[in-house]
Amino acid sequence: MERKDKIRIGLAIGTLGIVYGDIGTSPLYVMKSIVASNGGLNHVSEDYIIGSLSLIFWTLTLLTTIKYVIIALRADNHGEGGIFSLYALVRKRGKWLVIPAMIGGAALLADGVLTPAVTVTSAIEGLEEIPAFDALFTGNTTLIITIVIVILSGIFFMQRYGTMFIGRIFGPTMFLWFSILGVLGIINILGDLSIFRAFSPYYAVELLFSDQNKAGFLILGSVFLATTGAEALYSDLGHVGRKNIYITWPFVKVCLLLNYFGQGAWIISLKNADDPFVNPFFQSMPEPFIMYGVLIATLAAIIASQSLITGAYTLVSEAIALNLLPRLSIRYPSETKGQVYIPTVTTVLWLACVGVVLYFQDSTHMEAAYGLSITVTMLMTTVLLFQFLLRKGFSKLVTTAILMTFGVLEFAFFISSAAKFMHGGFVAVVMAVAIMALMYIWFSGYQLKTKLVKNVSLKKFVPMLAKLKADTAYPKFAHNLVYLTSNRNPYRVEHEVMASILDKRPKRADVYWFVNVQVVDGPYAAYYTVESFESDFVIRVQLKLGFRVEQDINVFLQQIAKDLISKGALDQQKRKYTAKNGRKLGDFCFVIVKDELSTEADLTNWQRIIMRSKLFIKRFTTSPENWFGLEYSDVQIENVPLYLSKKKVVKIREWS
């Protein structure tokens, strides 16, 4: 029992570092943004601060606690969370659901660019509040930006080596961070216990219509920054499990609220202050502690950035498996379960983060772009959650009430954040639209190819393959000839596949394998079905893998072949020469048919644009042999026209 308790405590502390990095660093900039949005410290009153704190409390309660912790965490896909896992659960309810999934995923990836930039910059700007460094950092934007870029570059550089070591200190560091947030909040609250009036929703509603609130409903754009990490909380479900989030969220929420309320009490205490600019997070600290506060805030910002980068890897790998993004090289830098490294994503995120820092120069301007993309993701998650609840059998009345409640609330946040569009929000929109366009092109191209490619009955060709197998006039091409097919019908394959075997140089083999890989809803599923057409030399394999499973086709196929031999469905393939005693299988040769757009393809102009764009993007993606784990296997590539259509017959005559 003692051991179990220790493990549970360890997992709970680890959860603090994995899940709450984004939302946990929000106190660095939320109150600063709220004060700045009203014109500075000279223009805020006690009622304004109380109302703002009330808005923060109810936003965290309604969106983070109720929507995500209580409702969304139950919408898990075999333990995995996030918008793409949710989409995988409900996609059979309507083809149109891919649209909110793509929009939400694109916006979440855009947030993965902004979060590291705004959190690290906000932390480093705390150096301006240290009296000893006043002359060095105050007004010296270039130095601060340089430090931020160095830190961000270091974070991205570490990804290639894995984050196993850093991960060990994530949990304890974030536990210390939240504890400090809570203690600092209590110290400031003790001077004004009336701050707890903010628990009443009356003050939140009153502020929205108050003359003291110069921003009106647009203040919600600043308030929303307090809950930007809620979507990441849901996405990290698979890393820590639902119970650990349930255990840790009350502690995290209490510490966050104590700090927000403490900052509010400190601001109220500064009556008739001359300086309009205020950074309440650092300035509310005891002066001797500010240096340590900057250090721990920087560590927390690094952890938040790392969490978003790791989340981006997971998001991209899931999108690839669902045919929403092109195949990219995925590496596994350590033996830690679930840890991946995608070089292309790392490079793009690093360049985008550095670009954001150089463009905005300070965290105040970054906050204008921050938040807008997440409101979009939350709205799309709400749409998918509505479909999930209907799928689970909840009444339409209850699900509609949930949809309307969160939909209206999040739409209000979206409108208030969209008002910042010209002040920096356009950066988030441009990034999200670019990612969305990439997803649309890739998914539409995949759907188009599926609809238009010419397929044939595999059973019809079994007699011809039998003759070819027995025809010794042709040299044996391989013991096992394997073709990867995108057709999920167990009785059909692409015409190009059969043309490759028969119409080019005929390929004689002992066994012809036709393998289709299908990504299924379960993240770690791995099973297969076999159709042999009453033969022992034509085998159609339907391999079903979860969207988190690495597609090592060679490994899986070797295992399937051994299973078939053990069942007597496949003859042993004895080899005269082998370095491995007792080997029951011959060699495997994989033939990959690569697409080339035919000039004769019967496509509309728009479809042709989509396909040309998809094929252009494909040039920069990982090769099929690398993607399917065949880089050390015998692989042959054949280029064929993408579509076969009726050719225009042109009559010719003899030239005389």
What is the secondary structure of 27-78 as a DSSP string?
GGTHHHHHHHHTTSGGG--HHHHHHHHHHHHHHIIIIIIIIIIIIGGGS-BT
Determine, yes or no, domain membership for 656: no
Q: Are 466 and 347 in contact (CB under 8 A)?
A: no
The reply to whether 166 falls in a domain is yes
Evaluate if residue 405 carries a pLDDT over 80: yes
Instruction: Print the domain residue range for 258.
Output: 9-446
Q: What is the mean pLDDT of residues 297-323?
A: 83
pTM of the model: 0.79
Q: Which residue in 55, 15, 86, 117 sits closest to 378, CA to CA?
A: 86
Tell me the sheet residues that pair with 528. Answer: 543
- The residue type found at 377 is T
Calpha distance 101→251 (Å, rounded): 31
Q: What values do phi and psi take at 229, rounded to 5?
A: -85, 5
- CATH number, residue 293: 1.20.1740.10
Residue 500 lies inside a defined structural domain of this protein? yes
DSSP collapsed to 3 states, 130-197: CHHHHHHHCCCHHHHHHHHHHHHHHHHHHHHHCCHHHHHHHHHHHHHHHHHHHHHHHHHHCCCHHHHH
Q: From CA 185, how far away is CA 178, in angstroms rounded?
A: 11
The pLDDT value recorded for residue 61 is 93
Final residue in a domain of this structure, among 421, 446, 471? 446
Tell me whether strands 588-596 and 476-484 are parallel, antiparallel or unpaired: parallel
Residue 211 has what pLDDT? 83
- For residue 650, being part of any structural domain is answered with no
- 469 and 374, same structural domain? no
As to burial, measured by CB atoms within 10 angstroms (0-12 exposed, 13-18 middle, 19+ buried), residue 194 is: exposed
Report in angstroms the alpha-carbon separations of 647 from 124, 254, 599, 639: 66, 71, 10, 19
Residues 582-624 have pLDDT tens digits of 677 778 888 888 766 555 556 778 877 888 888 888 877 777 7
- Quickly list DSSP for 491-511: TEEEHHHHHHHHTSS--EEEE
Residue 4 falls within a domain, yes or no? no
In a domain, 655, yes or no: no
Give the 3-state secondary structure percentages of the chain, helix then strand then coil, rounded to 5: 65, 10, 25
* Joined tokens for residue 188: 């400031």
Q: How far is CA 627 from each of CA 148, 391, 578, 592, rounded to the nearest angstrom?
A: 35, 34, 28, 12
**Number of domains making up the chain:** 2
What's the CA gap between 515 and 493, in Å, rounded?
10
187 closest CA partner among 265, 239, 293: 265
Residues 425 and 466 in one domain: no
The pLDDT-based confidence of 110 (bands split at 50, 70, 90) is confident
Residues 399 and 440 in one domain: yes
Residues 486, 438, single domain; the answer is no
For residues 508 and 490, membership in a common domain is answered with: yes
CA–chain centroid gap for 432, Å, is 13
**Same domain, residue pair 469 and 435:** no
* The pLDDT value given to residue 579: 67
Dump pLDDT digits (tens) for 160-211.
765 555 556 788 888 999 999 999 999 999 988 899 999 999 999 999 888 8
pLDDT at residue number 396: 86
Unique residue bearing structure tokens 């490079």: 347
Which tokens hold the place of 443?
A: 């998914």
Q: What is the per-residue pLDDT for 647? A: 46
Asked if residue 358 belongs to a domain, the reply is: yes
Residues near 193 by beta carbon (within 8 Å), at least 6 away in sequence: none
Q: Return the DSSP state at 212.
A: T
Count the Cβ atoms, other than its own, within 10 Å of residue 277.
12
Based on the domain organization, do 435 and 460 belong to the same domain?
no
CB 14 within 8 A of CB 168: no
For 474-522, the pLDDT digits (tens) are 888 888 899 888 888 888 888 888 888 888 788 898 889 899 888 775 6
**With contact defined as beta carbons under 8 Å apart, do 345 and 312 qualify?**
yes
Mean pLDDT for all residues in the chain: 81
What pLDDT score was predicted for residue 7? 43
Question: How far apart are alpha carbons 135 and 545 in whole angstroms?
Answer: 59
Specify whether 517 is located in the same domain as 395.
no
Rounded to whole angstroms, the Cα distance separating 419 from 368 reads 9
Choose the final residue of a domain: 411, 446, 481.
Answer: 446
* Residues 656 and 609: beta-carbon distance below 8 Å: no
Last residue of a domain, one of 446, 470, 505: 446
C-alpha 118/C-alpha 28 separation (Å) is 10
pLDDT tops 50 at residue 377: yes
- 615 within some domain: yes
Q: Is the pLDDT of residue 645 over 60?
A: no
What is the secondary structure of 567-610 as a DSSP string?
TTSS-----SS-SSTT-----EEEEEEEEE--TT----HHHHHH
Helix (H) or strand (E) holding 287: none
pLDDT at 368: 66
In the block, tokens 């409640």 appear at: 405
Expressed in angstroms, the distance from the first to the final Cα of the chain is 99
- Identify the weakest region by mean pLDDT among 193-202, 332-341, 458-467: 332-341
Are residues 177 and 48 part of one domain? yes
For Cα atoms 607, 443, 382, give the angle at the middle one, nearest 5 degrees: 130
Q: How confident is the model at residue 641 (pLDDT cuts 50, 70, 90)?
A: low
Q: Please give the average per-residue pLDDT across 542-553, as a whole number.
A: 77
- Rounded to an integer, the average pLDDT of 72-80 is 82
- Same domain assignment for residues 413 and 472: no
| Number of CB atoms found within 10 A of residue 175's CB | 19
| 5 confidence band (pLDDT: 50, 70, 90) | very low
Residues 539 and 439 in one domain: no
Helix, strand, or coil (residue 637): strand
Query: 347 and 487: one domain?
Result: no
The pLDDT of 98-106, averaged and rounded, is 91
Dihedrals phi, psi of 40, to nearest 5 degrees? 105, 180
HEC states along 400-424? Answer: HHHHHHHHHHHHHHHHHHHCCHHHC
